[in-house]
Amino acid sequence: MNENDLHAQREATAIQYFRLVDAADPALLELFADDAQMFFPKFGTAKGLAQIGAFAQGFARGIADIEHDIAHFNVLTSGDYVVVEGAVKGETTSGVEFPDGSSTFGLFCNVFEFQGEKIKRLHIYEDPDFAGTHTDGASWGQSVRDSM
């Protein structure tokens, strides 16, 4: 496989990751190398398929529906990395729709590092407060918005 084909395969794998997340499909784990690691804010790092699977199950317990806006992703590839910037919407299991456009915005950036065709490392940069309930940590933002 030449470098262009490998980059295209890696981009396709990154996009497939989001499709599988949206579908809550356990086949998601097949995209990762056995010793992969994944970071998510307020969670930390999961190492290996068992921990990544446990994270996915825990994440799913709080989300009733999730949909990434795949058609409007910004995808950048360089070497072993694929970076995806985009937006997500959905509903928590408590019935809160996100984003609310006021304190939650549904924006994220994921950095995928690949080893061959498998995801070796994934760092997810996203506000984990989908329901906008972590007001203490973001009160400064509201006060600034109110003064504008």
Model confidence, pTM: 0.89
Q: What is the reported pLDDT for 106?
A: 92
Cα–Cα distance measured from residue 88 to residue 6, given in angstroms and rounded to the nearest whole number: 27
- Token code pair at residue 114: 């690949």
Q: What is the reported pLDDT for 148?
A: 58
pLDDT in tens, the chain (148 residues): 788 899 999 999 999 999 999 999 999 999 999 999 999 998 899 999 999 999 999 988 899 999 999 999 999 999 999 999 999 999 999 999 999 887 789 999 999 999 999 999 999 999 888 777 776 655 555 555 576 5
- The string over 68-84, giving b where at least 16 C-beta atoms fall within 10 Å of a residue's C-beta and e elsewhere, is bebeebeeebeeeebbb
Q: What is the reported pLDDT for 47?
A: 96
